Amino acid sequence: MIRVALRGLAGRKLRSGLTAFAIVLGVAMVSGTYVLTDTIGRAFDEIFTSSYDETDAVVSGKHAVEWSTSGSATLPAELLEEISALPGVEHAAGTMMNIATATDVAKVIGPDGETIGGTNPAMGFGLDPEAERYSPLKLAEGRWAAAPDEVVLDAGTAAKARVGAGDDVEIAAGGPRRTYEVVGIARFGDVDSLGDATVSVFSLETAQKLYGKEGRFDAIAVAAEEGVSQEELAARIRPILPQGAEVTSGETKAEQDAAAIAEFVSFIRYALLGFGGIALFVGGFVIFNTLSITVAQRTRELATLRTLGASRRQVLRSVVAEALALGVAASVVGVAAGVALAHGLKAVFVAVGLDLPTGEIVFAARTVVVSLVVGVGITTLAGVFPAVRATRVAPISAVREGATVAPLRRRTAVAGGVLLALGLAAIAFGLFGDAGGTAPLILSLVGGGIGSFLGVALVGSRLVRPLVAVVGQPAARAGGVAGRLARENAVRHPARTASTAAALMIGLALVTTLAVVAEGVRASAREDVSGQIAADYVLGSADGWTPLPPAAGEALAGAPGLTRVTPVRADRGRVGSAEVEVSGVEPGAISSVYRFEWADGSSPASLARLGPNGAVVQDGFAEEQGLAVGDTFALTTPAGAELRRVVRGVYETRSFATMLGAVVLSTAAFDASFPRATDAYVLATAGADVDRAALQARLAAFPDALLQSTDEFVDARLGFLSNVLNLFYVLLALSVIVSLFGMVNTLVLSVFERTRELGMLRAVGMTRRQARRMVRHESVITALLGAALGLPLGLGFAALLTQALSSHGIGFAVPVATLGVFAVVAVLAGIGAAVLPARRASRLNVLAALQYE
């Protein structure tokens, strides 16, 4: 029986190939995700490992606050002399190389006058040539920088800037742009660059001056004498360390730096695997539908086998073996295709401004095992139900003309309704109940989504006739006889039509959910941001996240036509175990450019009372910390200093996007407490005769500084959301492509099934053009049925999500135009899916078709 199944697959090459392709795409997504993220992970591991190859101990400031713009605490230069004098120390050197935190910014200007790297990190390093052994960068040509006007670039950045050793390049590092001579090109081991990130290496003294760290180091790298272990060396250094400093072994430091990046890479991996899982889930529908139709078309064949003595178990094994063989073959191809898809995924990331370092392709055994298990498992699982149905074929069916497997029973629809209800309940529990952590939440949402989709697919067979009566009207009216026949064909096998439409429904439901939630986020963010700004202009960084040097705001101050210019400082701090955003404002000016909504007991006078030790806090922060006006709290800075601050006022938090931090200090107090202060943005009010071009000209020395009107600033803030949305659309498109192949497969099988019928239609006068039109309209009706199921389901999911997020100010907003585009895409998908089947139907030989069994 297994040989019979395999011969059957070989005899149906086109159908088998189309069916397998759905699994190939899903498995390729899984395989490609592992290949890409493993390759990125190894590239970072190599970079961090090479950073500490010859380092036995690393002394650094304690990391008091995550994601601080000023970085960790620095070390005094005197500490280097003390460490160098310790027994067991062979060599020690101060370094300024923060790859993991990238807080020292150096924007390299390209030949087009724009900064290289876009939104990616632009890192500035400081290196003493005598400490080259501690550097992750190795010279490929030239020498290390020694003079204040010299720089070394990584190979990737040099190529993009079109410069080599001896050329000049402009760089904005910690202030206005300056011209530097490129004296060397460096590489990260076998990695040319950190993706689109840029690295500029100055002399140690130059970097210290540029970033306000004169006489201080980010870290001190230490090499031990022979015979002294890393642990022993660290133990000798520890007693002489000042408060706020710590020492770790070189191996431990490499692991710590790599861990932060590994967390980010893991996030990318799981997100991509999620989209791969969606594609495989849709592929499961395609496999199920194809095998179900194949079993129905082979009723007489299976009945003949039963007549010849085949048992139900043998028939079951035969169909399962067919699914298993299909799954194995498709999964093997998918695993190999994953390598090519990994390059495609990287190109997608580059397109949205997220280029990551890669080196030699990593193809781990885990990639093969997981991809094969998932692909084969889903294919086999999808084939179980058709196999069970095949066992119900009675031997007497062998002598019946046109015998088919019995249709699905009424209880199938009931089971579908129960699954749909349970799925929605699981989603609601995850969103509104106490799921007990991130993993249970994800499990409830994923399980609820799968249950909901399966439920709609099962109930869909009962909805096909009334829905087709509506979505099939245009075909019936515009397509004439062919259109009316297409509408009747769509309802001939409701379960088959519903299953085919369900594959497209999943993709449309997910993109609808995404579009509606994104529209709600966009509307809330626009309202919140525009409601806070009372200024005419906002000066911020072009990439939207890099802090501005205070000198940029100072260059704008005093410009003709501007009535007020006030900066907003920004960094992060820690209160107890909670990390918070901290802002610095000018008390006498901020109220004229920012709209505060004061909580009970607070007023604009609260700002006037800030002084050197006062703070204005958000109401949400005050509630979490149990603070009221007059209370005192401790604020820890990134440098590890603990500040005592008195609450002078409480202002109401914006629901979604608050532009000021949870803690607001005066600019003077902020600058005194936070080293290397930077601005989040600068707010300015202007008169009627302001010359905007002249204002931008004053900022020419700051290539990353962008002056925008309030409306432009709001649009720019929402630009990142649009990029993320586009990325998700591209990844979800894979599931739509899989569903399209499912429609092609179903239509091809339908043409095979109706060969004699098509022959009779041609014999009584149907033209080739009408045959093509009939198949095309049938495909479009099926696609519109998928849209009719997917769009409302997506709206339902979005309603649940926005209700759960309503406390953050996100409302339910329906992007009608976008949903209309999705419906058009569904129609185009139907037309595209019908090309091959329609062509086959129109080319049937009439006499041969009439003789077809």
Identify the band that residue 190 occupies on the pLDDT scale cut at 50, 70 and 90: low
Q: Encoding tokens for residue 387?
A: 């196999």
Q: Encoding tokens for residue 681?
A: 């943005």
pLDDT of residue 243: 86
Q: Which residues pair with residue 93 across a beta bridge? A: 221
pLDDT of residue 642: 92
Average pLDDT over residues 79-94: 94
Of 132, 56, 152, 64, residue with least CA distance to 101? 64
Report how far Cα 383 is from the mean position of its chain's Cα atoms.
33
Burial code of 285-303, b = ≥16 C-beta within 10 A, e = fewer? bbbbbbbbbbbbbbbbebb
Which phi and psi angles does 222 have, rounded to 5°? -130, 135
Q: Does residue 601 surpass a pLDDT of 60?
A: yes
Average pLDDT over residues 561-571: 94
SS3 of 44, please?
Answer: helix
Residue scoring higher pLDDT (601 or 205): 205
Of the listed ranges 351-365, 618-632, 829-843, the least confidently predicted one is 351-365
Q: Are strands 245-249 and 198-203 parallel, antiparallel or unpaired?
A: unpaired
Q: Which residues pair with residue 598 across a beta bridge? A: 651
Percent of the chain with pLDDT over 70: 92
- What mean pLDDT is reported for the chain? 85
Q: Where are the domains of the chain?
A: 55-261, 424-530+718-853, 550-701
Q: Supply the DSSP string of 74-134, one letter for each residue.
A: -EEHHHHHHHHTSTTEEEEEEEB--TTT--SBEEEB-TTSSBTTTTS-EEEEEE-GGGGGG
Q: Does residue 287 surpass a pLDDT of 90?
A: no
Please tell me what DSSP assigns to residue 814.
Answer: -
d(CA 282, CA 217): 55
- Residue-wise pLDDT for 738-771, tens only, equals 888 778 877 877 787 777 888 888 888 889 899 8
Q: Which residues pair with residue 706 across a beta bridge? A: 540
345 burial type by CB count under 10 A (0-12 exposed, 13-18 middle, 19+ buried): buried
d(CA 350, CA 357): 11
d(CA 320, CA 291): 10
- Residue-wise pLDDT for 319-375, tens only, equals 788 788 888 988 999 999 998 888 888 887 777 666 777 767 888 899 999 999 988
Sign, CA torsion 737/740/742/748: negative
Q: Encoding tokens for residue 584?
A: 């610095």
Average pLDDT over residues 558-566: 90
Integer CA distances (angstroms), 773 to 136, 742, 776, 824, 847, in order = 64, 19, 5, 18, 21
Q: Do 306 and 394 form a contact (C-beta atoms < 8 A)?
A: yes
Which phi and psi angles does 249 have, rounded to 5°? -70, 160
Q: Does residue 101 surpass a pLDDT of 80?
A: no
pLDDT of residue 405: 45
d(CA 691, CA 703): 19
Q: Which residues pair with residue 224 across a beta bridge? A: 89
Residue scoring higher pLDDT (99 or 37): 37
d(CA 146, CA 386): 74
Average pLDDT over residues 143-162: 94
- Residue-wise pLDDT for 226-260, tens only, equals 999 999 999 999 999 998 899 999 888 877 777 76
- Residue-wise pLDDT for 31-75, tens only, equals 988 998 888 888 777 777 777 788 899 999 887 888 788 877 889
Q: How many CA atoms lie within 13 A of 821 on its CB side?
A: 9
Q: Are strands 177-187 and 138-142 parallel, antiparallel or unpaired?
A: antiparallel
- Residue-wise pLDDT for 646-678, tens only, equals 999 999 987 667 889 999 999 999 999 998 889
